[in-house]
Amino acid sequence: MAKAATQRPDRVAIVGGGIAGAATALGLQRAARTHQRALEIAILTAAADDVDEGPLLLTAECRARLAALGCRVPASWREGAMAGIEIIGGTTRRRLPYPDGSTWVVDGFPTGPSGRSLVRDLLFSTAHTHGARVIRRRVSALERMAPLAGMPVGRGAGDLVIRSGGAAERFDYAVIATGTGTAGSQLLPGHQPPPLLHGAQARLLT
């Protein structure tokens, strides 16, 4: 998180419209309520940020964390309780049972949205309900500029300028939540994305 001049209320921009961005907004909202701080949160996202394909695994701990953030997990997701994992290597297959059923496989396959999209939309909806503003524009630059003299507290204050879709808006703080893509490196020179690990082919059994 980059820090700018302190204002009341603090204005926070979250760059990234995936699960990380939406969850960050909810976490900040919860922390602000706990510490009685006034925040204005804006989530800047483009269409490409919303492409979250694939199923999602929700453990009992994940569901508890979502509930703590104010998200009501649909009871229908329980229908996909995981029964096991099938590991596939060439012509060899091995099934590993998962007996307790505490982990849910969330996915709308084959006709509905992906599990990642379902969880992301749940987080987004909750964040919006608690006052987060969603801006559907791709961020092109993040710059630090001194506030203009006499500028009132509000959208014109703060020394972090975020440019998106031809518009420029000032914030006090900015959070980069773009995942493993290259957007973070483009906005913050020298930033290194997290490493990726190769995975094995497997199938979830429900």
Taking alpha carbons only, the member of 5, 12, 40 closest to residue 148 is 5
pLDDT of residue 82: 87
Ranking 17-31, 39-53, 102-116 by mean pLDDT, the lowest is 39-53
**Which pLDDT band holds residue 181 (cuts at 50, 70, 90)?**
low
What mean pLDDT is reported for the chain? 81
pLDDT of 42 higher than 80: yes
Between CA 48 and CA 28 the distance in angstroms is 24
**Which pLDDT band holds residue 151 (cuts at 50, 70, 90)?**
low
Q: Residues 141, 119: contact at Cβ < 8 Å?
A: no
**Single pTM value for the model:** 0.76
Between CA 153 and CA 150 the distance in angstroms is 9
Q: Residues 29, 127: contact at Cβ < 8 Å?
A: yes
pLDDT of residue 84: 87
Q: Please give the span between the terminal C-alpha atoms of the chain, in angstroms, as a whole number.
A: 39
pLDDT of residue 129: 93
pLDDT of 5 higher than 50: no
Q: Residues 175, 15: contact at Cβ < 8 Å?
A: yes
CA angle 199, 121, 3 (to 5 degrees): 85
pLDDT of residue 25: 94
pLDDT of residue 193: 65
Q: Residues 139, 162: contact at Cβ < 8 Å?
A: yes
pLDDT of 71 higher than 90: yes
Half-sphere exposure at residue 90, Cβ-oriented, CA atoms within 13 angstroms: 1
